[in-house]
Amino acid sequence: MDTKLIYLDHAATTPVHPKVLEAMLPYFSEKFGNPSSIYSIARETRAGLDHARDTVAEILGAKANEIIFTSGGSESDNLAIKGVALSQRKRGNHIITSPIEHHAVSHTCEYLQKHFGFEITHVSVDKHGVVDLDALATAIRPTTTLITIMMANNEVGTIEPIEEIAKMIKGKGIFFHTDAVQATGSLDINVDRLGVDMLSMSAHKFYGPKGVGALYVRRGTSILPQQQGGGQERHRRAGTENTAGIVGMATALKMSYDEMESRNEHARKLRDKLIAGITKIDRTILTGHPTNRLPNNASFCFEFVEGESILLNLDMLGIAASSGSACTSASLEPSHVLRAMGIPVEIAHGSLRLTTGMDNDEEQIDRVITALPGIIAKLRAMSPLASSAS
Catalytic residues: 327
b/e code 206-219 from CB counts within 10 Å (16+ = b): bbbbbbbbbbbbbe
Other Cβ atoms less than 10 A from the Cβ of 143: the count is 13
- List alpha helices for the chain, DSSP H: 18-24, 40-60, 73-87, 103-116, 133-139, 162-169, 191-194, 232-235, 243-258, 260-278, 307-316, 336-340, 345-348, 362-381, 384-389
Cα(175)–Cα(281) distance, rounded to whole angstroms?
A: 45
- List alpha helices for 226-334, DSSP H: 232-235, 243-258, 260-278, 307-316
Q: Report the amino acid identity of residue 176.
A: F
Beta bridge partners of 70: 213
Look at strands 213-217 and 67-70 and give their pairing: antiparallel
Length of the chain: 390
Cα(215)–Cα(273) distance, rounded to whole angstroms?
A: 35
CA 190 from centre of chain: 17
**Cα angle 156-157-161, degrees, rounded to a multiple of 5:** 120
**Cα angle 154-178-145, degrees, rounded to a multiple of 5:** 135
